[in-house]
Amino acid sequence: MSQARLRTVIAMNRQVADKLIDEDTRARLVAVSDTDPDLVVDDFTTPAARRALADADVLFTGWGCPPVDEQVLRDAPRLRAVVHVAGSVKHHVTDACWRRGIAVSSAAAANALPVAEYTVAAVLMSNKRVPAIADRFRRSRVWLDWQAEFPWLGNYRLRVGVVGASKIGRRVIELLRPFDLDVVVADPYLAASEAKSLGVALTSLDDLVSTSHVVSLHAPELPETKHLMDARRLALMPTGATLINTSRGSLVDTGALITELRDGRLHAVLDVTDPDVLPTDSPLFTTPNLVLTPHIAGSLGNELSRMTALALDELGRLARGVPLAHQVAREVLDRSA
């Protein structure tokens, strides 16, 4: 990349921009590149957008950015990079970008941390039986022998199975390291030597599911991962085990899981569902043994600043002509979120 001053265009949903781009971000954007922080493009076909694209070196993108297709690239002959202030770039970085040799950066690493933190909290609270005990205690108002009620009460030497050595899966493994837990991983693309370097054992998915007290899903949404946790695999889980899903709702056969939860055999923590926005009459709202949250594990609130800081650092690298630290490789997109 040339060290000439870059011209950057912000492209994302306007409401997203209001959340991501505060005064400090605006100041850094203007300092590192020629940017109009008041121009937020959510439609590349408008006259204002096309005028901005004509001189753009970089697109600073976020959720709601339209696809950067052949027509957009024709309107943006100087475009050299897309710096994404979020995770997946699949929704807007098209094949045309890769053919053009556009450099693509993502803040997925920054977004992985809050999801991993949520997951670790869910692991520790689930093994301690906090959700189940709190619910029982609130309803009964009776002091019981909780250890007799929940024989797995506690986190000492229980097995946690991480499904998918993604950025989030790896952060989960890292954050679980200080605890007295046995952590294993299943991932068809992970070599045993790499698993060893992560400090965990590599195993098959069926073995992981059948031997883990907690199964945590961190695989991408792909045709081959639809209903990865189907009725057969859910039945393999030990009685009393917990399923955690912070990945995508389609990875789980919801009907089969509801049956296991209603029978009292399994527990679950779901931050994502299928569909993502549940109808008000969804049985998940009344299913026992379930902690249900509305897709809050990823970056929200002040956590958004971590993603913008990473993206601004990447923009700074482009401006200085040094390699991106979080460049996205096209060849891994087929097996990533």
> Which CATH number does the domain housing residue 92 bear?
3.40.50.720
**Helix, strand counts (H, E) of the chain:** 14, 12
CA distance 237 to 265: 9
Digit-coded pLDDT (tens) for 51-60: 999 999 999 9
Closest listed residue to residue 161, CA positions, set 184, 142, 143: 184
Is 246 a member of any domain?
yes
Residue type, 99: R
| 214 located within any domain | yes
In this structure, the answer to whether residues 271 and 305 fall within a common structural domain is no
Does 2 map to a domain? no
Residue at 95 is within a domain: yes
Residue 323 domain-assigned?
A: yes
Domain extent for 228: 112-292
Q: Do 54 and 195 fall within a single domain?
A: no
Q: Are residues 266 and 120 in the same domain?
A: yes
Tokens representing residue 286 in the block: 């009344």
> Does residue 250 form part of some domain?
yes
Q: What is the pLDDT of residue 332?
A: 80
| Rounded (to 5) percent helix, strand, coil in the chain | 45, 15, 40
> What 3 state SS string does 58-117 have?
EEEECCCCCCECHHHHHHCCCCCEEEECCCCCCCCECHHHHHHCCEEEECHHHHHHHHHH
List the structure tokens of 277: 């926005």
**9 pLDDT exceeds 90?**
yes
Q: What mean pLDDT do residues 288-309 have?
A: 96
- Flag whether pLDDT at 74 surpasses 80: yes
What band does 1 get if pLDDT is binned at 50, 70 and 90?
very low
- The domain tally of the chain equals 2
Residue 193 and residue 69 in one domain:
no
CA–CA separation, 179 and 267 (whole Å): 21
- What's the pLDDT at 2? 44
Element (H, E) at 120: helix 108-127
Same domain for 266 and 229: yes
Q: Is the pLDDT of residue 336 over 80?
A: no
Average pLDDT of the residues of the chain = 95
Helices in 199-303 by DSSP H: which ranges?
205-211, 231-236, 254-262
Residues 281 and 314 reside in one and the same domain: no
What's the pTM?
0.93
pLDDT in tens, 245-297: 999 999 999 999 999 999 999 999 999 999 999 999 999 999 999 999 999 99
Query: What pLDDT, in 10s, does the model give residues 160-199?
Result: 999 999 999 999 999 999 999 999 999 999 999 999 999 9
**Which helix (H) or strand (E) covers residue 162, if one does?**
strand 159-163
Same domain, 197 and 224: yes
CA distances from 72 to 54, 59, 66, 69, 76 (A): 10, 11, 10, 5, 6
> Is there a single domain that holds both residue 122 and residue 85?
no
- Residue 101 and residue 68 in one domain: yes
Tell me: the pLDDT tens digits for 106-160? Answer: 999 999 999 999 999 999 999 999 999 999 999 999 999 999 998 889 999 999 9
Question: In the prediction, which pLDDT does 4 show?
Answer: 66
Q: Mark whether 238 and 120 lie in a shared domain.
A: yes
Per-residue burial over 95-129, b = 16 or more CB atoms within 10 Å of its CB, e = otherwise: ebbeeeebbbbbbbbbbbbbbbebbbebbbbbbeb
Query: Do 139 and 256 reside in the same domain of the chain?
Result: yes
- Do the domain assignments include residue 327? yes
- Residue 250 is classified by DSSP as G
Residues 62 and 101 both lie in one domain? yes
For residue 328, tell me if it sits in a domain. yes
What's the rounded Cα separation, in Å, for the pair 150 and 148?
A: 6
